[in-house]
Structure 1
């Protein structure tokens, strides 16, 4: 029944999805040379289209003395000026293509960075985005209509709450609406027939921890647990694996870029090279979506620090570039008494501790005033690990920063996604 409902939904929403799925299944084991040749072919089409139909890109390419016919190699992409979210919002109308599309799909970002973005996806863009997700599912022997648990937001409005329940029923999904023990027990009962779980990694971990603390017996045989939209802390994995039987795997992307990478069963995050081109410049990721004809996304500064690997040959046989690490958001800077520091500093502080001691710490850092940091840790540290953390803080900030370390406390969450660094300091 659910397979039939799913296929009817596809016909109604986007009939191009099956074609996109078949294509990505066919290119799954392409060589790197084949993938890059395909990228160049589609990039030429995209840039020519943007020059013809997008006022913003025509102006920017002219200013850069870059005509689409000059795009002969993937390296030539670097001649096109990058674009930021601020520009996508401020020049939204000028970026949208003026061509007539049979149908467009409304999209918006969550606004977790403070600035929501709205735009329209053409059908092929939407189909490629969803097909990339479904290909990732297929690596774990999962179909889109399989039974799944959803760790996402919920709405307190009664009408919207019941609307979500009806929609979840149609797509063979169940979700958790609160952290009350009764709700968790209902969720656990549904796990018996579930094939996979997905959603915010912090919520997956939190429910796993509650189940562990309450010593609640569960019976499940999950094929996949997927975390998305949030950083997956190393410290989440032992509890999640103990409770649910699998670790959290990564799906990396954004509403405006589509799926950038998906983790395979061997533990590597393969970029969807057939859909996007990824550049990393000084640690920052820039994404080009090759099918974003209605709202061209070319060299978009997503706002994340990442590391990629173009050399490693994955045991799964895929030759797609590997994202080895998503290190965090390029958010507000850390403000010391004398100097400023990138928020990436915290990644290295806690990564060094993992590398040296093997202890993964669940952390969040708040800055309420210049020259002072509040380290919030969910667990209690041993004296040796606390001493190591203090040494790492001093190593990176010296005497420029005072700090407090609070152990066994909850994280601050101001709605939306959980952030590892939150600054309340206003900067000019």
Structure 2
């Protein structure tokens, strides 16, 4: 049974009436309280009263990441700071950080969304939950903490890093559930192997992973190496953090918390909505957020939406696992390539580890791709001839499946920097324009 059966299993028409009511309230709230949105709506000639159906969301302006940076720190905040009880922010590694203020009501809603996420993963009140997401300004640590606390779990707030200690605590505390980024889960599994610790023999049974893209092949790798069920969480700092969508035991798409988020898939060039079932860019409008409501926020994530009743009983709209992002797409020899596609192919090669980086350089007028991937120890120890054989095998596989020529370079085990948070998969060495 879902955490909140009323909303998660609500008849679609009834939920859409609820969404329309909240959409109208959100547009009016943003128009009246945030000058940025008032100006954007006025420019389009749209007033809050013009929103009469869910389809009218397409009349609203699109919000992009630069809008949030341009209004740093609190230009998009709809409430006075005396009503803000928490502020989170992105890392800001590519410019000013994205700030996320929360009212007490926002915090309550966030905990509700995260409780649904963790409950769907099979986490229950008597579980010991080890939270290895980063605490601090990053939304992950505190978001998962709030959800696990709402359920009533015993939360171990380890935060990210100190991998050997994490493994010791998994053993000593008899942890039931582990929370982290998927790349850190692999880092932990690798360290456990080095320590001679068999994670599969521990009480650990489930992990909830998110904050970065990961393929079905990586999910399988995590499950096999840790001996757990690997579940997914999806969210964005701009929308309040994790808790936007989640998968259930069926692992067949991510359920969107529709009473909190109105989802669209649009043509990334025109922003025109696409029919359910067509692949495009994912856009969200928040429906109950008070401190910083978002109107049609561009995620730049590529997916498709599905309207179906899941075998778990939930009637929430589903989104497919992300297939890439419009802003990390590479064009190699005229072919559009996403890092996730390369990852899937590498995970089909038994001679390499799931640790890689993609290096993009300019060669003439074209982008040139080098894939650095760690060889298994026995392959690396076998010498240059064996390495060359595997490099050709991978290059042929990439060429055959994606139609591009990539230089493959096997590197020694443990050479690629391990992640304690989000993994860095692309090194862009192209000259800046």
Given the two structures, how large is their TM-score scaled by the length of structure 1? 0.77
The CA distance in 2 between the partners of 1:113 and 1:329, in whole Å, is 17
The CA distance in 2 between the partners of 1:413 and 1:212, in whole Å, is 15
What secondary structure sits across from 1:256 in the alignment? helix
Change (3 A) 1:124 1:172: same
Alignment-derived partner of residue 424 in structure 2:
419
What secondary structure sits across from 1:325 in the alignment? coil
Change (3 A) 1:46 1:274: same
Change (3 A) 1:319 1:108: same
Query: Given that residues 245 and 256 in structure 2 are in contact (C-alpha distance below 8 angstroms), is that contact kept between their aligned partners in structure 1?
Result: yes
133-142 or 238-247, larger mean C-alpha shift: 238-247
Query: Given that residues 40 and 61 in structure 2 are in contact (C-alpha distance below 8 angstroms), is that contact kept between their aligned partners in structure 1?
Result: yes
Q: Does 1:265 align with 2:210?
A: no
The CA distance in 1 between the partners of 2:419 and 2:123, in whole Å, is 34
Could you tell me which of 278, 283, 288 is aligned with 2:285?
288
Alignment-derived partner of residue 107 in structure 1:
88
Could you tell me which of 405, 410, 418 is aligned with 1:406?
410
The CA distance in 2 between the partners of 1:236 and 1:217, in whole Å, is 19
Q: What are structure 2's unaligned runs of at least 5 residues? A: 137-148, 268-279, 380-385
Q: How does 1:143-154 map to 2 (within 5 A)?
A: 143=124, 146-153=127-134
What secondary structure sits across from 2:110 in the alignment? helix
Cα deviation per residue 1:334-372 (whole Å; 9 max; x = unaligned)? 365x75x6552x434555788999x99654312244432
Q: How far off is 1:280 after superposition?
A: 1.4
Query: Given that residues 233 and 362 in structure 1 are in contact (C-alpha distance below 8 angstroms), is that contact kept between their aligned partners in structure 2?
Result: no
Change (3 A) 1:427 1:394: farther
The CA distance in 2 between the partners of 1:285 and 1:175, in whole Å, is 29
Q: What are structure 1's unaligned runs of at least 5 residues? A: 1-21, 156-167
Alignment-derived partner of residue 365 in structure 1:
358
Query: Given that residues 265 and 304 in structure 2 are in contact (C-alpha distance below 8 angstroms), is that contact kept between their aligned partners in structure 1?
Result: yes
Change (3 A) 1:314 1:272: same
What secondary structure sits across from 1:267 in the alignment? coil
What secondary structure sits across from 1:27 in the alignment? helix
Q: How far off is 1:304 after superposition?
A: 1.9
Query: Given that residues 139 and 265 in structure 1 are in contact (C-alpha distance below 8 angstroms), is that contact kept between their aligned partners in structure 2?
Result: yes
Query: Given that residues 131 and 158 in structure 2 are in contact (C-alpha distance below 8 angstroms), is that contact kept between their aligned partners in structure 1?
Result: yes
Q: How far off is 1:211 after superposition?
A: 2.5
Q: Does 1:69 align with 2:53?
A: no
Between Structure 1 and Structure 2, how many residues are aligned? Answer: 384
Q: How does 1:374-389 map to 2 (within 5 A)?
A: 374-379=370-375, 387=393, 389=395
Query: Given that residues 331 and 337 in structure 2 are in contact (C-alpha distance below 8 angstroms), is that contact kept between their aligned partners in structure 1?
Result: no
What secondary structure sits across from 1:95 in the alignment? coil
Alignment-derived partner of residue 329 in structure 1:
325
RMSD: 3.6
Cα deviation per residue 1:197-255 (whole Å; 9 max; x = unaligned)? 00111111121133245542454333420112122343434443234331321100012
Q: How does 1:15-414 map to 2 (within 5 A)?
A: 24-92=4-72, 93-97=74-78, 102-111=83-92, 114-143=95-124, 146-153=127-134, 171-174=155-158, 177-180=161-164, 183=165, 186-192=168-174, 194-212=175-193, 214-218=195-199, 219-258=201-240, 259-268=243-252, 269-282=254-267, 283-310=280-307, 312-332=308-328, 334=330, 342=336, 344=338, 346-349=339-342, 351=344, 363-370=356-363, 371-379=367-375, 387=393, 389-390=395-396, 392-393=398-399, 396=402, 403-406=407-410, 410-412=415-417
Query: Given that residues 238 and 247 in structure 1 are in contact (C-alpha distance below 8 angstroms), is that contact kept between their aligned partners in structure 2?
Result: no
The CA distance in 2 between the partners of 1:214 and 1:239, in whole Å, is 19
